[in-house]
Amino acid sequence: MNTSLKLVILLACGHMLTDFYTNFVPVLLPTLMERLDMSLTASGMLVLAMSIASNVLQLAFGYWQDKYNLSSLLLWVIPLGALAICGVGWANSQPLLFLIAILNGLAVAAFHPLGSTLVTRAASGGKLGQKMSYYLTGGNFGFAAAPLAVVWFMNAFPLESLPVLVLPALLLSFLYWHSGLQHLDTRQEQKLPGTNTPQHTNKAAWMGRLLKSNRSILLLNVAMALRSWTQMATATFLPLFLMGHGVSSLMAGSLLSFFLAGSVAGSLAGGWLGDRFGHKHTAVSMLSFATIPTAVFYLSGELNILTLIALFLIAACLMGAQPSSIIWAQRLLPQHEGVAASMMMGLSFAFGSVGVAISGAAADQIGLDAAMLMTIAPAALAALIAAITPAP
């Protein structure tokens, strides 16, 4: 295995652990609500606070890492995030719980643009889409594995033992130090033509480039936010949808993991297809095709081989567009790769969560089945907007 691939795999492991720790809260929430006498409103606010910290603030971290070399944060950000979230067992008040969730969110916000930028630095020898897909697959795998791992841990040990799960983060931090990843530079140091001046130091040039690319990057961000709406709504309401059709809670939880496994497969396939057929073509095709299994699954209303395949393909197609979207965005903003990545991985999910709230409100009015069927529309609109977005 060459050095480039080793570094990308290490970054994928970091993405896996970051998203693994992020997904602790939904699993622990019932226990925390009972312990701290939390209402459903407070629980929703907790998830919202964590989402804002982890998604919206990615843009700020992406901007800072483009201006300043923040690669040394790689050694600290994952262990600190792990320590924060694994400390929930010791939280004895709601304000402290909110602080813990926000600290974990800040670690997530710092790692995501940093990791994706370092992938582009480490990925020598071409096949950037494939290597970016490895990085994204790590995060999807960690996110999918967290519920099963936490449930198993909680059945075997008390909540106060959660800090034991910080050990993998400490081990990975040591491997990062040994690999030298912290010596890669996150800054965008391309020179202005005919000068020795770094482009990011010329404020007028920076603003001019950003405004010139503004329409394209905004259109792409809107498309990926709509993609996130369909994906996040399915992940959020799938257990309730299935239980409404007579499926047991245990089976519903297992099928949620099955859905998330589709995301893992999609992120792997999407990177390979992007390198082979072009990133815009791959993203548009994936988003367009996602509408078909979404319609099949929600119109059927029963579980069989066809609907299980459709459920898997919903996640695979929607996530298959993400590796290409990140590379596409970074090419639209070549001097601001961290900002571009944070828009695709942070802001798009933050805006997608607004769509989930809309779907929830619609479900109260017209029923969950109809509301979930309507999530075809954001995916279709995402494909249309991506198709008209200029690509470099």
**Can you give the pLDDT of all 392 residues of the chain as single tens digits?**
567 778 888 999 999 999 899 878 767 776 787 788 877 567 667 777 787 788 778 777 877 877 887 788 888 999 999 999 998 888 888 899 889 988 998 998 888 888 888 887 776 666 677 777 788 788 888 887 887 788 788 888 888 888 999 999 999 999 989 888 877 777 765 433 343 444 444 444 544 555 454 688 889 989 999 999 999 888 878 877 888 888 886 787 778 878 988 988 888 888 888 888 888 999 999 999 999 999 999 998 788 999 999 999 999 999 999 888 888 888 887 777 777 777 787 778 778 878 877 888 888 888 889 989 999 999 999 999 999 998 77
The per-residue pLDDT for 204 is 44
Q: Which one, of 120, 149, 146, lies nearest residue 132 by Cα? A: 120
Fold equal for 3-184 and 204-388: yes
User: In this structure, what token pair is assigned to residue 220?
Assistant: 């792409």
What CATH number is given for 3-184 in this structure?
1.20.1250.20
CB-CB contact of 74 with 61 (8 Å): no
pTM score > 0.85 for this model?
A: no
d(CA 284, CA 324): 10
Residue 285: per-residue pLDDT: 94
Helices (H), the chain: 3-22, 24-36, 40-51, 58-67, 74-86, 94-122, 128-156, 167-179, 203-212, 214-243, 249-277, 279-300, 305-320, 322-332, 337-342, 348-366, 368-373, 376-388
Q: State the burial class of residue 9 (Cβ atoms within 10 Å of its Cβ: 0-12, 13-18, 19+).
A: middle
Q: How many CB atoms are closer than 10 A to CB 246?
A: 10
Please tell me the distance from the alpha carbon of residue 5 to that of residue 233, in angstroms, as a whole number: 34
| Residue 202: partners with Cβ closer than 8 Å, 6 or more residues away | 192
Q: Which superfamily is assigned to 204-388 in CATH?
A: MFS general substrate transporter like domains (1.20.1250.20)
Which token pair is 138?
């790590």
Which of 108, 88, 106, 109 shows the shortest CA–CA distance to 97?
88
The answer to whether the CB of 149 falls within 8 A of the CB of 23 is: no
Exposed e or buried b per residue across 205-243, where buried means at least 16 C-beta atoms within 10 angstroms of its C-beta: ebeebeeebeebbebbbbbbbbbbbbbbbbbbbbbebbe
> Which sequence spans correspond to the domains of the chain?
3-184, 204-388
